[in-house]
Amino acid sequence: MKPGQSITRPHSVGGWAASRPSGGSAPQALLRCCSAWQGPGAFPASRALPRRLWGALGAALLSIVLPIPSRKAILIAAALLASGPLLAAEMIPMSQEQRQAMGVRTAPVAVATESWSVAYPAQVQVPTAQLRVVSTPLSGLLESLLVAEGDAVKKGQKLASILSPELLSLQRGYLQALSQLDLARSDWERDRQLLEEGIIAERRYQTTHAHYVQVRTEVEQSRQTLRLAGMDRSALERLARERQLSGTLTVRSPLDGVVLERMATLGQRLNALDPLYRIGRLKPLWLEIHVPLEQLSQIGVGSTVRVRAPLVEGRVITIGRMVHGGDQGVLVRAEVTDGAERLHPGQFVEVELASGRAERNYRIPLGALVRQGGKAWVFVARDEGFLVVPVIIRAEESDAVVVSADLEPGDQVVMAGTAALKAAWLQGAE
């Protein structure tokens, strides 16, 4: 024998020939045994034996090359396979000791009032009615920025100040219009008195009154222009009273909200309508979800939407009609009110959609589902063993399955060890 060469001991059992190297591992020997196995045809004198006995015999032979714990599980499975037909009774008899040896674990079923879809990508958006872009109404030099991105602001709060020569021109025009209004009012009141005394003709009075109305309209126009430029009522009253011009324009917040973006820099020369800030009110928020076209029949306006992380819920408010060419999806918009403070505009999240309610629907662990012959089954724990129960899949969630079946709340279904039970079930039925 050469150094390093292993000693092989040939085995022959009714035509099944295998060799197990004394220095090899159990899995290697198992692979060689499986490759040499010829099935029941290797035993010409025993072709009439039932297939379940062949399965039991194979399990017993495999236990020769497996470690002690694995041998015990295989022999238990062999005993189950040889115990007789199982599918007709839909019961796999098994003691508590056998369950522990095979590593069978169970979990309770739960009533599913709602089933959840798989996760879809979504983006958090601020509703358009809650967004404002604050811009400068007049040209000028940006003198100061009083808030930054992320700051909470109140309606009317000062945001920035701008040095604007254009504002001076508007104020001067307003004061001139006020002076002309005073003169026109005096002329109108004098001519009215003269008309009552019969000194002047009525035509002259009408001309004076028309001029007064025209000047009053010009004053109102100048006042509204200054209001649009950012001067409030108190500032206009002070200007009319004190007749003092000021070239500093104050920009204020139009609503309560949060500064989402600063769009100008200090010292920048601005033209009229250049943007300064983008401000939004962050409650409620929208979730914009792209849902596959074939899934739309499962949802409707008012359906519940659940964000996976952070865990918040909302309601569908709009289902789009346009199919997007890139992903053949439809835009579904949901509104989140409770918990909106845990979301951030622009954030990408994963959401699940509730697909409705149904009677006798149950939520089971994903690992509890067994597929065979194009159907789905679960193993339900009973005192004497495990009952094989057919189920109808209603929805597949991320970590669970919603099914309809002849189950009861609290029933225990097998979630670990299903492969061994399935083998025993199928072999025992042959």
Max mean pLDDT among 25-29, 285-289, 294-298 falls in 285-289
What pLDDT score does 323 carry? 92
What pLDDT score does 63 carry? 44
Supply the pTM of this predicted model: 0.59
Q: What are the boundaries of each domain within the chain?
A: 8-84, 105-112+359-428, 120-126+282-353, 133-280
What pLDDT score does 359 carry? 59
Predicted confidence (pLDDT) per residue in 201-229, tens digit: 999 999 999 999 999 999 999 999 999 99
287 CB burial (10 A radius; 0-12, 13-18, 19+): buried
Predicted confidence (pLDDT) per residue in 129-159, tens digit: 999 999 999 999 999 999 999 999 999 999 9
Between helix 165-197 and helix 202-228 the angle, nearest 10°, is 160
CA 213 from chain centre, in angstroms, equals: 61
Topology, domain 120-126+282-353: Elongation Factor Tu (Ef-tu); domain 3 (2.40.30)
In this model, does residue 59 exceed pLDDT 50? no
Predicted confidence (pLDDT) per residue in 85-98, tens digit: 444 337 888 888 88
For the ranges 13-17, 323-327, 341-345, 380-384, the lowest mean pLDDT is seen at 13-17
What pLDDT score does 380 carry? 95
What would the CATH number be for the domain defined by 105-112+359-428?
A: 2.40.420.20
What is the chain's mean pLDDT, rounded? 81
Predicted confidence (pLDDT) per residue in 403-413, tens digit: 888 888 889 99
What pLDDT score does 428 carry? 64
In this model, does residue 17 exceed pLDDT 90? no
Report the DSSP beta bridge partners of residue 141: 163, 269
What pLDDT score does 140 carry? 96
* pLDDT range class, residue 65, cuts 50, 70, 90: very low
List Cβ<8 Å contacts ≥24 apart for 425-429: 425/86, 425/87, 425/92, 425/379, 425/388, 426/87, 426/372, 427/51, 427/52, 427/55, 427/81, 428/52, 428/80, 428/81, 428/83, 428/84, 428/85, 428/86, 428/87, 428/92, 429/85, 429/86, 429/87, 429/88
Give the class (CATH, top level) of 133-280.
mainly beta
What pLDDT score does 23 carry? 41
* pLDDT range class, residue 116, cuts 50, 70, 90: confident
Q: Where are any strands of DSSP class E within 182-268?
A: 248-252, 257-262
Mean pLDDT of 251-280: 96
